[in-house]
């Protein structure tokens, strides 16, 4: 996507999708309000919820999606005159859901966050920027999620500054710089995380440790299912 007009931020209409009860989403909204953008804001709460009809009528210059649980319909994405941008909590090697889970399970030494143009497919559009950071041997789901969300927020805030000062010109330059970055593999689904954290009774100790590292979090721990009953793991934290 190549667009080269100079933007006047005072006239920019911006649709922001964030997440309910998310401090980072609130900080991003606060930054957007700092400038003279014409902001429409939607807080997603659960997956597959309905977007309010008034938002479906939106037209403007930019759409920003941060930790958004709703799949934005393609006809709405096309209403963004300049860019509809998603901030994905993973590098391009991990499209879809459960990115951190599968990265930890795979034992990666490096992780990251991605800004990309949205299209009708999940985590498929033109990559604008990827920022990577190391994964430590002591990292688990909680620590890596925390760091990922912090880096994702920083990336989004930086893009707000870009929109405010340089607009589409700098975004186009970033796309050119990131042209070697490519999505790889099929986007993962939530069900695959559930399958990963459902443990077989005859699992090896090594495999069990991998699954615990990749999927254990206090509210959604791994489980063993025996004779129709679920037994959930509890770790002393």
Residue ranges, comma separated, of all CATH 3.40.50.170 domains in the chain are: 9-177
| Residue 151 pLDDT exceeds 90 | yes
52-61 contacts at long range (C-beta below 8 A, 24 or more positions apart): 55/15, 58/13, 58/15, 59/13, 60/12, 60/13, 60/14, 60/15, 61/7, 61/12, 61/13, 61/14
Confidence of residue 237 (pLDDT cuts 50, 70, 90): low
Confidence of residue 142 (pLDDT cuts 50, 70, 90): very high
Q: Does domain 9-177 have CATH number 3.40.50.150?
A: no
What pLDDT sits at residue 9?
54
Q: What is the mean pLDDT of residues 42-68?
A: 90
Dist. CA 93–CA 110, nearest whole Å: 11
| Residue 1 pLDDT exceeds 70 | no
| Residue 132 pLDDT exceeds 70 | yes
Can you tell me whether residue 205 is helix, strand or coil? Answer: helix
Look at residues 66, 64, 78 and name the one whose alpha carbon lies nearest to residue 14. Answer: 64
* Stretch among 15-24, 46-55, 104-113 having the lowest mean pLDDT: 46-55
What pLDDT sits at residue 36?
83
Average pLDDT of the chain, as a whole number: 91
What pLDDT sits at residue 70?
85
| Residue 233 pLDDT exceeds 70 | yes
Enumerate residues 6+ apart whose C-beta is below 8 A from 234.
221
What pLDDT sits at residue 3?
36
What pLDDT sits at residue 182?
96
| Residue 212 pLDDT exceeds 60 | yes
What pLDDT sits at residue 76?
95
Q: What is the mean pLDDT of residues 111-140?
A: 96
């Amino acid at each position: 996507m190549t667009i080269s007009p100079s933007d006047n931020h005072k006239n920019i209409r911006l649709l922001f999708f964030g997440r309910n009860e998310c401090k980072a989403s609130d900080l991003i909204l606060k930054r957007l309000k700092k400038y003279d953008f014409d902001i429409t804001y939607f807080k997603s709460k659960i997956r597959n919820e309905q977007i309010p009809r008034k938002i479906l009528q939106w037209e403007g210059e930019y759409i920003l999606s941060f930790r958004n649980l709703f799949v934005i319909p393609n006809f709405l994405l096309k209403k963004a005159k300049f860019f509809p941008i998603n901030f994905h909590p993973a590098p391009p090697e991990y499209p879809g859901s459960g990115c951190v889970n599968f990265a930890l399970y795979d034992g990666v030494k490096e992780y990251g966050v991605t800004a990309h143009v949205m299209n009708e497919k999940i985590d498929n559009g033109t990559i604008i920027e990827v920022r990577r950071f190391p994964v430590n041997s002591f990292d688990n789901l909680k620590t890596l999620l925390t760091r990922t969300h912090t880096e994702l927020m920083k990336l989004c805030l930086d893009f707000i500054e870009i929109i405010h000062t340089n607009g589409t010109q700098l975004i186009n330059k970033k796309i050119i710089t990131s042209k070697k970055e490519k999505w790889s593999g099929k986007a993962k689904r939530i069900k695959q995380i559930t399958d990963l954290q459902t443990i077989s009774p005859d699992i090896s100790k090594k495999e069990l440790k991998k699954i615990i590292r990749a999927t254990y979090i206090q509210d959604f721990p791994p489980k063993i299912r025996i004779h129709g009953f679920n037994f959930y793991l509890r770790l002393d934290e």
